[in-house]
Amino acid sequence: MEASWLPAALELVSGGGLGLSPEKRAVLWSSLLLLQRDYRFERVWFWGCIQGVRGAYYIAEGLGPDRAAPRSRLYSLNCVDWSLLPPVTKEMITWAGPLKGRFQGDPSFEYEYTERNAEDAERLDEDGKEPTIKEEARVVATIEQIDRAVGIIPRGAFVKTPLGSVSENRNFEGLSLTEAKKLSSYFHFTEPVNLKNKTLLEKADLDPSTDFLDSLEHDIPQGSWTVQLEKGGAVVVLRSLLWLGLTFYHVPMTKQYGYVYFGTGEKNLDLPFML
Protein backbone atom coordinates (compact mmCIF):
# COMPACT_ATOMS: atom_id res chain seq x y z
CA MET A 1 0.00 0.00 0.00
CA GLU A 2 1.09 3.56 -0.71
CA ALA A 3 3.31 4.92 2.08
CA SER A 4 1.73 8.39 1.96
CA TRP A 5 -1.71 6.87 2.72
CA LEU A 6 -0.41 4.45 5.32
CA PRO A 7 -2.33 5.54 8.48
CA ALA A 8 -5.71 5.65 6.71
CA ALA A 9 -5.01 2.53 4.65
CA LEU A 10 -4.10 0.43 7.70
CA GLU A 11 -7.32 1.55 9.33
CA LEU A 12 -9.32 0.34 6.32
CA VAL A 13 -7.84 -3.18 6.42
CA SER A 14 -8.01 -3.57 10.20
CA GLY A 15 -11.39 -5.33 10.07
CA GLY A 16 -9.69 -8.71 9.99
CA GLY A 17 -7.91 -8.04 13.27
CA LEU A 18 -4.55 -7.42 11.58
CA GLY A 19 -2.46 -4.30 11.81
CA LEU A 20 -0.10 -2.24 13.91
CA SER A 21 -0.43 -0.25 17.12
CA PRO A 22 -0.95 3.53 16.75
CA GLU A 23 2.60 4.14 17.97
CA LYS A 24 4.06 1.68 15.45
CA ARG A 25 1.99 3.21 12.64
CA ALA A 26 3.30 6.70 13.40
CA VAL A 27 6.93 5.55 13.52
CA LEU A 28 6.57 3.48 10.34
CA TRP A 29 4.88 6.28 8.41
CA SER A 30 7.63 8.80 9.22
CA SER A 31 10.31 6.21 8.52
CA LEU A 32 8.92 5.32 5.07
CA LEU A 33 8.75 8.96 4.00
CA LEU A 34 12.41 9.38 4.98
CA LEU A 35 13.23 6.16 3.16
CA GLN A 36 11.68 7.51 -0.04
CA ARG A 37 13.73 10.69 0.25
CA ASP A 38 17.05 9.00 1.08
CA TYR A 39 16.86 6.33 -1.65
CA ARG A 40 15.20 8.70 -4.17
CA PHE A 41 12.36 6.34 -4.99
CA GLU A 42 9.42 7.71 -6.96
CA ARG A 43 7.03 5.78 -4.73
CA VAL A 44 7.37 3.62 -1.64
CA TRP A 45 4.89 0.87 -0.81
CA PHE A 46 4.56 -0.70 2.61
CA TRP A 47 4.40 -4.39 1.67
CA GLY A 48 3.63 -5.78 5.11
CA CYS A 49 5.09 -7.79 7.94
CA ILE A 50 6.35 -11.37 8.23
CA GLN A 51 6.10 -12.45 11.85
CA GLY A 52 8.92 -14.65 13.14
CA VAL A 53 9.46 -16.51 16.37
CA ARG A 54 11.87 -13.97 17.85
CA GLY A 55 10.97 -10.89 15.83
CA ALA A 56 9.22 -9.52 12.76
CA TYR A 57 10.35 -8.36 9.34
CA TYR A 58 8.72 -5.12 8.17
CA ILE A 59 8.95 -4.94 4.39
CA ALA A 60 8.94 -1.92 2.08
CA GLU A 61 9.21 -1.73 -1.70
CA GLY A 62 10.70 1.13 -3.70
CA LEU A 63 9.38 1.83 -7.19
CA GLY A 64 10.85 3.66 -10.15
CA PRO A 65 9.27 5.16 -13.31
CA ASP A 66 8.35 1.74 -14.74
CA ARG A 67 5.97 0.20 -12.22
CA ALA A 68 6.38 -3.28 -13.75
CA ALA A 69 10.17 -3.24 -13.38
CA PRO A 70 11.78 -5.22 -10.53
CA ARG A 71 11.27 -3.38 -7.25
CA SER A 72 13.86 -2.61 -4.62
CA ARG A 73 12.89 -4.40 -1.42
CA LEU A 74 14.00 -3.41 2.06
CA TYR A 75 13.38 -4.81 5.51
CA SER A 76 13.47 -3.45 9.03
CA LEU A 77 13.34 -5.14 12.40
CA ASN A 78 12.25 -2.01 14.27
CA CYS A 79 10.44 0.15 11.66
CA VAL A 80 13.28 2.68 11.81
CA ASP A 81 16.49 1.21 10.38
CA TRP A 82 16.17 -0.25 6.87
CA SER A 83 18.41 -2.64 4.95
CA LEU A 84 18.26 -3.57 1.28
CA LEU A 85 17.33 -7.14 0.45
CA PRO A 86 19.24 -8.86 -2.37
CA PRO A 87 17.46 -9.25 -5.73
CA VAL A 88 15.46 -12.44 -6.03
CA THR A 89 16.85 -15.29 -8.14
CA LYS A 90 15.44 -18.58 -9.36
CA GLU A 91 17.91 -20.38 -7.10
CA MET A 92 16.54 -18.59 -4.03
CA ILE A 93 12.98 -19.66 -4.83
CA THR A 94 14.11 -23.24 -5.52
CA TRP A 95 16.13 -23.46 -2.29
CA ALA A 96 13.45 -21.83 -0.12
CA GLY A 97 10.61 -23.96 -1.52
CA PRO A 98 11.22 -27.08 0.65
CA LEU A 99 11.68 -25.05 3.86
CA LYS A 100 8.80 -25.40 6.30
CA GLY A 101 7.94 -23.88 9.64
CA ARG A 102 8.07 -20.40 11.12
CA PHE A 103 10.67 -17.74 10.41
CA GLN A 104 13.07 -17.06 13.25
CA GLY A 105 13.25 -13.28 12.91
CA ASP A 106 17.04 -13.33 12.47
CA PRO A 107 18.32 -12.54 8.92
CA SER A 108 21.61 -14.37 9.56
CA PHE A 109 19.95 -17.58 10.75
CA GLU A 110 20.95 -20.53 8.55
CA TYR A 111 18.69 -23.41 7.52
CA GLU A 112 20.14 -26.76 6.56
CA TYR A 113 19.17 -27.63 3.00
CA THR A 114 17.74 -31.13 3.33
CA GLU A 115 16.69 -31.80 -0.28
CA ARG A 116 19.83 -32.11 -2.37
CA ASN A 117 20.40 -32.46 -6.09
CA ALA A 118 23.58 -33.68 -7.80
CA GLU A 119 25.17 -30.21 -7.66
CA ASP A 120 24.52 -29.90 -3.91
CA ALA A 121 25.93 -33.39 -3.29
CA GLU A 122 29.08 -32.54 -5.24
CA ARG A 123 29.53 -29.30 -3.31
CA LEU A 124 29.08 -31.21 -0.04
CA ASP A 125 31.84 -33.65 -1.07
CA GLU A 126 34.21 -30.77 -1.92
CA ASP A 127 33.57 -28.60 1.14
CA GLY A 128 32.64 -31.27 3.65
CA LYS A 129 29.85 -29.02 4.95
CA GLU A 130 26.09 -29.27 4.81
CA PRO A 131 24.62 -26.78 2.28
CA THR A 132 22.69 -24.01 4.03
CA ILE A 133 20.42 -21.10 3.14
CA LYS A 134 20.19 -17.88 5.13
CA GLU A 135 16.84 -16.64 6.37
CA GLU A 136 17.38 -13.40 4.48
CA ALA A 137 17.21 -15.37 1.21
CA ARG A 138 14.09 -17.16 2.42
CA VAL A 139 12.45 -13.79 3.16
CA VAL A 140 13.23 -12.59 -0.38
CA ALA A 141 11.85 -15.78 -1.94
CA THR A 142 8.68 -15.65 0.17
CA ILE A 143 7.97 -12.02 -0.72
CA GLU A 144 8.38 -12.85 -4.41
CA GLN A 145 6.06 -15.86 -4.15
CA ILE A 146 3.37 -13.84 -2.40
CA ASP A 147 3.64 -10.97 -4.89
CA ARG A 148 3.32 -13.35 -7.83
CA ALA A 149 0.39 -15.28 -6.37
CA VAL A 150 -1.72 -12.62 -4.65
CA GLY A 151 -0.26 -9.15 -5.32
CA ILE A 152 -3.21 -7.44 -7.06
CA ILE A 153 -4.41 -4.09 -8.46
CA PRO A 154 -7.80 -2.82 -9.71
CA ARG A 155 -8.50 -2.94 -13.45
CA GLY A 156 -7.48 0.33 -15.09
CA ALA A 157 -5.18 1.52 -12.31
CA PHE A 158 -2.14 1.05 -14.55
CA VAL A 159 -1.62 1.43 -18.29
CA LYS A 160 0.91 -0.17 -20.60
CA THR A 161 2.58 2.10 -23.14
CA PRO A 162 3.39 1.00 -26.71
CA LEU A 163 7.04 0.76 -25.64
CA GLY A 164 6.16 -1.82 -22.99
CA SER A 165 6.62 0.22 -19.82
CA VAL A 166 3.85 0.38 -17.20
CA SER A 167 2.78 3.57 -15.47
CA GLU A 168 -0.05 4.75 -13.26
CA ASN A 169 -3.23 5.71 -15.07
CA ARG A 170 -3.91 9.36 -14.32
CA ASN A 171 -7.49 8.95 -15.56
CA PHE A 172 -8.27 6.17 -13.09
CA GLU A 173 -10.94 7.36 -10.68
CA GLY A 174 -11.73 4.04 -9.05
CA LEU A 175 -14.13 1.19 -9.79
CA SER A 176 -17.86 1.50 -9.35
CA LEU A 177 -19.33 -0.40 -6.40
CA THR A 178 -20.87 -2.96 -8.78
CA GLU A 179 -17.56 -3.59 -10.54
CA ALA A 180 -15.57 -3.53 -7.33
CA LYS A 181 -17.44 -6.60 -6.06
CA LYS A 182 -16.35 -8.72 -9.05
CA LEU A 183 -13.13 -10.74 -9.08
CA SER A 184 -12.79 -10.02 -12.81
CA SER A 185 -12.18 -6.35 -11.91
CA TYR A 186 -8.83 -7.15 -10.28
CA PHE A 187 -5.55 -8.17 -11.89
CA HIS A 188 -2.41 -9.93 -10.71
CA PHE A 189 0.37 -7.34 -10.81
CA THR A 190 2.91 -9.74 -12.29
CA GLU A 191 3.84 -11.30 -15.63
CA PRO A 192 0.62 -12.69 -17.19
CA VAL A 193 0.23 -16.42 -17.80
CA ASN A 194 -3.41 -17.07 -18.71
CA LEU A 195 -3.59 -14.04 -20.99
CA LYS A 196 -1.06 -15.58 -23.36
CA ASN A 197 -3.25 -18.67 -23.77
CA LYS A 198 -6.34 -16.75 -24.85
CA THR A 199 -7.53 -16.96 -28.44
CA LEU A 200 -7.67 -13.94 -30.76
CA LEU A 201 -11.46 -13.96 -30.43
CA GLU A 202 -11.21 -13.74 -26.63
CA LYS A 203 -8.67 -10.92 -26.89
CA ALA A 204 -10.87 -8.93 -29.31
CA ASP A 205 -12.85 -7.32 -26.48
CA LEU A 206 -9.78 -6.49 -24.39
CA ASP A 207 -8.08 -3.11 -24.27
CA PRO A 208 -4.34 -3.82 -24.67
CA SER A 209 -3.42 -0.71 -22.67
CA THR A 210 -5.33 -1.77 -19.53
CA ASP A 211 -6.11 -5.50 -19.95
CA PHE A 212 -2.52 -6.70 -20.11
CA LEU A 213 -2.58 -8.77 -16.91
CA ASP A 214 -4.35 -11.90 -15.62
CA SER A 215 -7.61 -11.40 -13.72
CA LEU A 216 -8.48 -13.13 -10.46
CA GLU A 217 -11.62 -14.87 -11.76
CA HIS A 218 -9.64 -17.87 -13.08
CA ASP A 219 -7.41 -18.35 -10.03
CA ILE A 220 -6.84 -21.95 -8.95
CA PRO A 221 -8.26 -23.25 -6.71
CA GLN A 222 -11.62 -21.59 -7.21
CA GLY A 223 -12.76 -19.90 -4.03
CA SER A 224 -9.30 -18.83 -2.90
CA TRP A 225 -10.51 -15.22 -2.51
CA THR A 226 -13.18 -13.71 -0.29
CA VAL A 227 -14.87 -10.41 -1.24
CA GLN A 228 -16.48 -8.38 1.53
CA LEU A 229 -17.96 -4.93 2.04
CA GLU A 230 -16.75 -3.19 5.20
CA LYS A 231 -17.01 0.20 6.89
CA GLY A 232 -20.73 0.35 6.14
CA GLY A 233 -20.27 -0.72 2.53
CA ALA A 234 -17.79 2.06 1.80
CA VAL A 235 -14.78 -0.24 1.34
CA VAL A 236 -14.38 -3.43 -0.70
CA VAL A 237 -11.94 -5.85 0.92
CA LEU A 238 -10.44 -8.96 -0.70
CA ARG A 239 -8.66 -11.54 1.42
CA SER A 240 -6.56 -14.42 0.17
CA LEU A 241 -7.18 -17.87 1.62
CA LEU A 242 -4.06 -19.21 -0.12
CA TRP A 243 -1.68 -16.82 1.65
CA LEU A 244 -3.50 -16.09 4.88
CA GLY A 245 -2.83 -12.53 6.00
CA LEU A 246 -2.91 -10.90 2.55
CA THR A 247 -5.59 -8.20 2.47
CA PHE A 248 -6.47 -5.89 -0.42
CA TYR A 249 -8.73 -2.85 -0.07
CA HIS A 250 -10.36 -0.45 -2.52
CA VAL A 251 -12.62 2.52 -1.86
CA PRO A 252 -15.00 2.58 -4.87
CA MET A 253 -15.01 5.74 -7.01
CA THR A 254 -11.68 6.86 -5.56
CA LYS A 255 -7.99 6.21 -6.25
CA GLN A 256 -7.51 4.59 -2.85
CA TYR A 257 -6.43 0.95 -3.09
CA GLY A 258 -3.60 -1.29 -1.99
CA TYR A 259 -2.68 -4.56 -0.36
CA VAL A 260 -0.74 -5.50 2.72
CA TYR A 261 0.44 -8.76 4.24
CA PHE A 262 0.50 -9.61 7.94
CA GLY A 263 1.31 -13.27 8.49
CA THR A 264 3.88 -15.94 9.18
CA GLY A 265 5.05 -16.29 5.56
CA GLU A 266 3.61 -19.79 5.25
CA LYS A 267 1.39 -20.89 2.37
CA ASN A 268 -1.95 -22.50 3.19
CA LEU A 269 -1.34 -25.88 1.58
CA ASP A 270 -4.58 -27.26 3.07
CA LEU A 271 -6.78 -24.85 1.07
CA PRO A 272 -7.94 -27.40 -1.58
CA PHE A 273 -9.26 -29.63 1.21
CA MET A 274 -10.99 -26.72 2.97
CA LEU A 275 -13.08 -25.57 -0.01
pTM: 0.88
pLDDT value of residue 182: 93
pLDDT value of residue 265: 93
**What are the sequence ranges of the domains in the chain?**
1-85, 90-142, 151-264
pLDDT value of residue 16: 66
Q: What is the dihedral of CA 119, 107, 61, 251, to 10 degrees?
A: 110
Measured from the Cβ of residue 166, the count of other Cβ atoms closer than 10 Å reads: 17
Amino acid present at 115? E
Q: Which residues of 253-263 are buried (b: 16+ CB within 10 A; e: fewer)?
A: eebbbbbbbbb
- In the chain (275 residues long), the average pLDDT of successive 10-residue segments reads 86 77 89 92 93 94 87 93 93 88 91 64 57 90 94 91 86 93 92 70 68 86 91 91 94 94 92 80
Pick from 210, 161, 220: nearest CA to 187: 210
How far is it, in rounded angstroms, from Cα 175 to Cα 156? 9
Q: Which residues contact 52 (CB under 8 A, 6 or more apart)?
A: 102, 103, 104, 105, 106, 264
- 110-112 and 132-134 beta bridge pairing: antiparallel
User: Helices in the chain by DSSP H: which ranges?
Assistant: 6-12, 22-39, 90-96, 118-127, 135-150, 177-180, 200-203, 271-274
pLDDT value of residue 11: 87
Pick from 45, 13, 16, 19: nearest CA to 32: 45
Pick from 174, 144, 167: nearest CA to 235: 174
pLDDT, tens digit (0-9, with 9 covering 90-100), for 193-251: 776 666 666 666 677 778 888 889 888 888 899 999 988 889 999 999 999 999 999 99
pLDDT value of residue 125: 46
